[in-house]
Structure 1
Amino acid sequence: MIYSISDLHLDYTKEKTMTLFGDRWADYEERIFHNWKETVKDEDLVLVAGDISWAMSLKSAYYDLIRIDEMPGQKVFIKGNHDYWWSSLNKNNSLNLKSIFFLQNNYFEFNDYCIVGTRGWDYLTEDCEEYNIYRRELLRLELSLNSAPKGKKKICMLHYPPFTNEKKPDDFHYILKEHGVTKCVYGHLHGPGLSNVVEGVVDGVEYFCTSSDYLQFKPIKIVETTIAK
């Protein structure tokens, strides 16, 4: 199986809180790990679409990452807007985590599927101050998609939803459509922001919002697949 959950917002120091987004976040870390163990098996894959740890450095993030590493299943990570600890791929990989793959300008292969993606960004036009960031993320998505081998189904991971505030598809969506991506997971939305969730099939791409509070802190099944023998 392929599952997904994003926006774990782990903090081993217990100094951060998510209660500004409502009482639903009470004891959220315990609930995430309990539901993960109840749902995911060792042979499964879990797509974690950003905002993984509140840590500010890779060294500090290790304490949160090792907790995920010890959970069942293989995991693919992309960077979220709060993942300030995320360093270069070489430095991330130097942690030698046994079940975590860091997705950045590359892809991950699982059975008949290729996992691609990038952080994404809020929709911007050329006259906006942060348009260069938006454009760079579009290029990173293209790099990831172009790195994947042909002939496999593609699942995309984004942190930011690929839609405008008016729920219209943005440039990220049209890149996914052009490359024949079949499914896309995204997070980032919490609290009142969940009113902007777009799910279902749009131009042939099936979308899933996987913010942990939206999922009641339980991984959602994206694909039913088994390990090829």
Structure 2
Amino acid sequence: MAIYALSDLHLSFNKPVSLFDIDPENDIEKPMDVFGWDRHYERIRDQWLARVSPEDTVLIPGDISWAMKLDTARYDFEWINQLPGKKVMSPGNHCYYAQSKKKVREALPEGMEWIDADYTTVEGLVVAGTRGWTLPGDRFYNEEEDRKIYERQVGRLRIALELAAREQPDREKMVMLHFPPLTRSAIESGFMDVMKEFGVTLCIYGHMHGKAAEEAIQGTVDGIELKLVACDALNFCPVKIR
């Protein structure tokens, strides 16, 4: 029973579709071909089926669907649900449908979980999650626009880990963020501080693509293993993390 991770699926089905019967011209709302992701859903499907068993879990930290509304996002959730394994998901910056954690959870098929400022347990491991945000010092950071959101997201990670520490004090803890907790131009962050405080051993994240992904900080930093799991950075293949 393994744990895999893969983020930034960027699905956009506009109707219920099966795993193998997809018409790109009529079933896809926002094709990713313009980014070089030709039929990327087929690549995800094939590599997922080749690696993940029904007993495994796949963590999906954000940007799962392009849908603006939850009713449309359901098509993407239902497609993912046809793939083997339990799925644990958390929000990304493009998850506009995720205004209510309660409503998202009610919309999910059985066997799929949504965490945001809270945690779940997978194979005896605590998995805490929140979206994250652009970091102070990063080249894309705007103090006026981003400071409040950044601090709120750091606080939401703290809420999740405080709850986990209180209820599961002896379990190993990992975190799933959408935004990276460090970048080449932001070499410290509140996310890292909170994770160090609570003894987190692993943090997976997405969001970084193309040139940014090549510059992603990965490996062990201050005792925390950092791992980029954005879809295209992994050749659309779920990566085993435990």
> Structure 2 length normalisation: TM-score?
0.87
Count of residue pairs the alignment pairs up: 221
Contact 2:8/2:207 (<8 A) preserved: yes
User: Which deviates more, 153-162 or 12-21?
Assistant: 12-21
Structure 2 residue 122 is the aligned partner of structure 1 residue 110: yes
Name the SS of the counterpart of 1:52 in structure 2: coil
1:60 to 43, 64, 72: 72
Residue type at the aligned position of 2:230: S
Structure 2 residue 10 is the aligned partner of structure 1 residue 9: yes
1:209 to 228, 236, 239: 228
Contact 2:135/2:186 (<8 A) preserved: no
Name the SS of the counterpart of 1:84 in structure 2: coil
Greater relative contact order (Cα < 8 A, sep 6+): 1
Partners of 1:81 and 1:96 in 2: how far apart? 19
Structure 2 residue 157 is the aligned partner of structure 1 residue 138: no
* CA-CA distance at 1:18 after TM superposition: 2.8
Partners of 1:186 and 1:117 in 2: how far apart? 10
2:211 to 168, 189, 192: 192
Partners of 1:106 and 1:128 in 2: how far apart? 27
Residue type at the aligned position of 1:93: R
Partners of 1:199 and 1:137 in 2: how far apart? 21
Contact 1:167/1:198 (<8 A) preserved: no
Partners of 2:204 and 2:99 in 1: how far apart? 23
1:77 to 55, 73, 89: 89
Which ranges in structure 1 are unaligned for 5 or more consecutive residues? 224-229
Contact 1:164/1:170 (<8 A) preserved: no
User: Which deviates more, 50-59 or 109-118?
Assistant: 109-118
> Structure 1 length normalisation: TM-score?
0.92
Partners of 2:93 and 2:145 in 1: how far apart? 17
* CA-CA distance at 1:177 after TM superposition: 1.1
Which ranges in structure 2 are unaligned for 5 or more consecutive residues? 15-27
1:199-226 residue CA offsets vs partner (Å, 9 max, x unmatched): 1100110011000000000000001xxx
Contact 1:117/1:158 (<8 A) preserved: yes
Partners of 1:183 and 1:51 in 2: how far apart? 20
Name the SS of the counterpart of 1:128 in structure 2: helix
Contact 2:172/2:200 (<8 A) preserved: yes
RMSD: 1.6
* CA-CA distance at 1:96 after TM superposition: 4.7
Higher helix share: 2
Structure 2 residue 172 is the aligned partner of structure 1 residue 153: yes
